[in-house]
Amino acid sequence: MPGFFSNGSRRRAILPLQALNFFMADMQAGIGPFLGVYLIAHGWHNGLIGSVMSIGGIAGMAVTAPAGALIDGSSRKRLYVIVPGICTVLASVIILLSQSFVLVSASQIASAIAGAAIGPAVSGITLGIVHQSGFNRQMGVNQAFNHAGNMVGAGLSGVLGWMFGMTAVFWLAALFGVLSIVAVALIPPKAIDDRVARGLRHAQGDDDKISGYRVLLGCKPLLILAAALCLFHLGNAAMLPLYGMAVVTGDHANGPGFVAVTIVVAQGVMILTALLAMQLGEKRGLWTVLLISFAALPVRGLIAAFLIGRWGVYPVQFLDGIGAGLQSVAVPALVPRILNGTGHINVGQGAVMTAQGIGASLSPAIGGWMSQRFGYSTTFVVLGCFALGSVALWIGFRRIVSTAAAAPENEAGEPPSVEQVTLEARGMAG
């Protein structure tokens, strides 16, 4: 059978795959929450901080879908983790060299490009190793390791930042980038089935190429998912950096230490919710998992508005852990179900990440200028309200989306193809 690899080769790939998910966590978000506090200490204002973060988000958004297409067509998927690792190291060094607007913007662009490629790459590598039948369960394990890495990275950042200053945070991010490169290099190339990694069925030939963008534009469940995630991240992305700045500015708390606490609380909850999402998705369907994640943000915004202080971090970040933890498993698990059989799963992952990036890139600028003009409390309420649009969209189109989200596996242990999901969705909508 084409693309079949020995179980021994797969087993040897699992440990470095889990190590990769642990170390890449700091690559994706390690310096982001600390950046605002670091720049405030160097005389920056909220509006400018939000703008420079948005510049990076826009850059990441622009390259995410093309990165997914490149990963789909590549037999060197590990390279798309190695290059982001190098970008992370460079981004940390740039910020340490200078805090000028141009160089900080360049560092954020490098970090955003790294994050844009690494998500679809790791998802494709995982799918190529464990195949569809083991993908949901392995993604739950992957995300548990990812959140554990974020928690450990944040804790180390807080301790090192307290002992040696904020520059230690950026050196730690660079170290995690190097360790991610080492981890992915230890994954045996033969353990990755490139055909399965892109969603091709074994009966399909390499000539069965469908335009990835045509599949995405014609796939209603995927478009609904992308729109709901865009609205969610429009409110979610700015909340943690702003909350850290609000408390540090008002209570004069230790900057690195407090930001580390905000991350550790959220990531600790995410470890549990990532494992819970795996079980809940199998029993109740991924539609329910995502609905809970969307509903957590409006409540989080209200609590953040009225509990700005050191103790408010616990309920605020507990809800962040629920929302982000559930999505970290449900979204990458749902996209392969929707696009199974097209050969363009990683394009789909990239397109969904692009939609998330649109919201996430605009959020810091909106939140930064709003907080500067109207204050933190009003800003938190407004940011939380964006997710009400996600809830309305998710419930309003439930009949179409739930067909893909709760799709039962067929006798071969795979979810139905995108053609089957589309036909069922049309029938339900009719």
What are the residues whose beta carbons fall under 8 Å from the beta carbon of 281, sequence distance 6 or more?
Answer: 136, 289, 329, 330, 333
The rounded distance, in Å, linking the Cα atoms of 321 and 189 is 34
| pLDDT (average), residues 208-228 | 72
Cβ contacts of 28 within 8 Å, gap of 6 or more:
114, 115, 118, 119
Task: Identify the pLDDT of residue 214.
Answer: 63
- C-alpha 82/C-alpha 45 separation (Å) is 34
What pLDDT is recorded for position 163?
82
12-28 as b/e, with b when 16 or more CB fall inside 10 Å?
bbbebbbbbbbbbbbbb
Mean pLDDT over 275-292 rounds to 85
How many Å is the Cα radius of gyration of the chain? 21
Q: Which two tokens stand for residue 206?
A: 């390499």
pTM, entire model: 0.68
Q: Is residue 185 scored above 80 in pLDDT?
A: yes
Give the C-alpha distances (Å, rounded to integers) separating 310 from 243, 245, 287. 10, 12, 34
189 pLDDT above the threshold of 70: yes
Q: Is 59 exposed, middle or buried (0-12, 13-18, 19+ CB in 10 A)?
A: buried
The answer to whether 153 touches 23, Cβ cutoff 8 Å, is no
**Which of these ranges, 41-55, 57-71, 250-264, 334-348, has the smallest mean pLDDT?**
250-264
Average pLDDT, rounded, for the chain: 77
- Contact between 173 and 27 under an 8 Å Cβ cutoff? The reply is yes
Structure-block tokens of residue 202: 């074994």
pLDDT at 427: 40
Would you say residue 230 has pLDDT above 90? Answer: yes
Kindly tell me if the per-residue pLDDT of 217 is higher than 80.
no
| pLDDT surpasses 80 at 74 | no
**Strands (DSSP E) found in 115-252:** none
Integer Cα distance of 328 and 361 in angstroms: 18
Range from 6-20, 45-59, 92-106, 241-255 carrying the lowest mean pLDDT: 241-255
How sure is the predictor about 392, in pLDDT bands with cuts at 50, 70 and 90?
very high
**Residue 171 burial by CB count (10 A; 0-12/13-18/19+): exposed, middle or buried?**
middle
pLDDT for the residue numbered 7: 58
Q: What is the mean pLDDT of residues 349-378?
A: 84
Give the model's pLDDT for residue 97: 80
pLDDT at 402 over 90: no
Pairwise CA distance, residues 56 & 42, whole Å: 20
* Biggest CA pair distance of the chain: 63
Q: What is the pLDDT of residues 244-264, one digit of tens each?
A: 777 766 664 555 666 667 777
Per mean pLDDT, which of 46-55, 185-194, 250-259 is the most reliable?
Answer: 185-194
Tokens 């506090």 correspond to what residue? 37
CA angle 397, 398, 402 (to 5 degrees): 130
Q: Which domains does the chain have, with CATH numbers?
A: 12-198+210-429 (1.20.1250.20)
Q: Which residues of 274-306 are buried (b: 16+ CB within 10 A; e: fewer)?
A: bbbbbebbeeebbbbbbbbbbbbbbbbbbbbbe
Q: Which of 17, 301, 319, 270 is nearest to 147 (CA)?
A: 270
What distance in Å separates the CA atoms of residue 13 and residue 123, rounded to the nearest whole number? 14
Give ∠ CA 219-333-173 in degrees, rounded to 5: 115
The pLDDT of residue 342: 67
| pLDDT value at 82 more than 80 | yes
Q: What is the pLDDT of residue 8?
A: 58
- Mean of pLDDT values over 133-145: 80
User: What does the pLDDT read at residue 199?
Assistant: 64
